[in-house]
Amino acid sequence: MSRSSPISSDRNLQRRVLIVRIGAMGDVLHAMPAVAALRLRHPEWFIGWAIDPCWAELLQTAATAERGPAMPLVDRCYRVPTREWKQRTFSLDTMASIRTVRRELRGERFGQFDLCVDMQGSIRSSMIGWMAGAEKFAGCAEPRERPARWMYGQKINVNAAHVIEQGCEILGGAVGEPLTPAKVELPIDNAAEGWRDELLSRVAPEGRKFVVIAPSAGWGAKQWPAERYGAVAAELARAGYVPLVNAVFSGDILANAVVDASGGVAVVVPCSVSQLIALLRRASLVIAGDTGPLHLAAALERPVVALFGPTDPARNGPYGTASRVLRHASSKKDHTRHAETEEGLMQITTEEVVAAAFDLLQSAR
């Protein structure tokens, strides 16, 4: 079959397409504009998404979330707990869970998928896509983990620099139609909105503006030091802004280290994915490295100061929002998961981050 040929036309007009992008947060967000473009082009198609349960709140299918102004991004999430499988590889519960996911993907209730598109490019995601048994299985010709390509019936070349545009090339190539990134409408969770309003009434009363700092990263090399984030928070507080530090739970060591370094003026805010979405909607600015909250803020079109080191902002940088990207000339692309902060990232100074932050804050006035 030609690489640009559309999915088979001998079925009725409602195609069934499965997206495989299991995680993590930033990677799911990077795939969403391509899926939004497909949804706009074909609102009648059934679109499923295989995703890790912890990121399902990013998609517009949560029971507590209102659907977007026009339509949901996907019709169904298929929750694939691969991290649990990895922790208990040979347990009976894992085998039973894998069988359940396979049965769901193969359409026990809804029917077989016409097309499966692996937008992750890992061995793990390609195996999930293969389990779906779709009529056609497509993926990147040069995936992140090369053995993944052995599973694909259609291998699609990508030429774009940014990963969001690459996602459009992969998905567009699979369906045989050009796609350009579309605006993503993230879910509005009423409970999370209420949580945010109550939080802000305590920590940022009378409509005080706040900045969210997200200090964590997927691995140590991408993580700017906590004491520097704390110094930035202290400067923001002196200028009248409330610095909030994103955390997964209240005992988060890194988030609390940022608060300590700020002299106690910053506030740790543990929150779920839905709560983080609600919080970032109101943020005046987000400061983070190459991590999920940065890309979530960009998807919400909030201004961001992005601190990059071993990853390339031309590929992974904030997309579609006002931003200041800081990366030292000595940084080199390296996805090795080193524990220590990359030396180039260490060259970014507190003063540079503060200056970038105030530049954006003043531009937004």
Query: 162 and 290: one domain?
Result: no
What is the tally of structural domains in the chain? 2
Query: 114 and 196: one domain?
Result: no
- Which has the closest alpha carbon to 39: 177, 153, 140, 190? 177
Tokens of 47: 């679109």
Q: Of 153, 175, 197, which residue constitutes the final position of a domain?
A: 175
Query: 143 and 224: one domain?
Result: no
What residues make up the domain containing 284?
A: 188-363
Query: 221 and 244: one domain?
Result: yes
In the chain, the percentage of residues whose pLDDT exceeds 90 is: 81
pLDDT at 265: 98
Full-model pTM: 0.91
Question: What one-letter code names the amino acid at 73?
Answer: L
Buried b (16+ CB within 10 A) or exposed e, 196-235: beebbeeebeeeebbbbbbbbbbeebbbbbbebbbbbbbb
Chain centroid to CA 294: how far? 9
Residue 28 belongs to a domain: yes
Mean pLDDT, range 132-139, rounded to an integer = 95
Query: 226 and 342: one domain?
Result: yes
> Taking the C-alpha atoms of 336, 31, 146 and 294 in order, what is their torsion angle to the nearest 10 degrees?
0
Span 11-68, pLDDT tens digits: 446 899 999 999 899 999 999 999 999 999 999 999 999 999 999 999 964 333 444 4
Residue 4 belongs to a domain: no
pLDDT > 80? residue 108: no
Residue 183 belongs to a domain: no
Residue 7 belongs to a domain: no
pLDDT at 64: 34
Query: 353 and 208: one domain?
Result: yes
Query: 192 and 153: one domain?
Result: no
Query: 216 and 285: one domain?
Result: yes
Residue 3 belongs to a domain: no
Query: 359 and 297: one domain?
Result: yes
pLDDT at 13: 65
> Taking the C-alpha atoms of 259, 294, 222 and 123 in order, what is their torsion angle to the nearest 10 degrees?
130
Span 323-353, pLDDT tens digits: 999 999 999 999 999 999 999 999 999 999 9
Cβ partners under 8 Å of residue 182, min gap 6: 33, 34, 36, 37, 39, 40
Residue 21 belongs to domain with CATH number? 3.40.50.2000
Residue 229 belongs to a domain: yes
Query: 140 and 215: one domain?
Result: no
Query: 131 and 276: one domain?
Result: no
Question: What one-letter code names the amino acid at 300?
Answer: L
Q: Of 129, 145, 175, which residue constitutes the final position of a domain?
A: 175
Q: Contact 201/242 with Cβ under 8 angstroms? A: no
Residue 89 belongs to a domain: yes
Q: Contact 50/19 with Cβ under 8 angstroms? A: yes
Residue 332 belongs to a domain: yes
Q: Examine residue 266 and say whether the peptide bond preceding it is cis (omega within 30 degrees of 0).
A: no
Residue 82 to residue 97: CA distance in whole angstroms: 10
Query: 225 and 158: one domain?
Result: no
Q: Of 175, 209, 242, which residue constitutes the final position of a domain?
A: 175
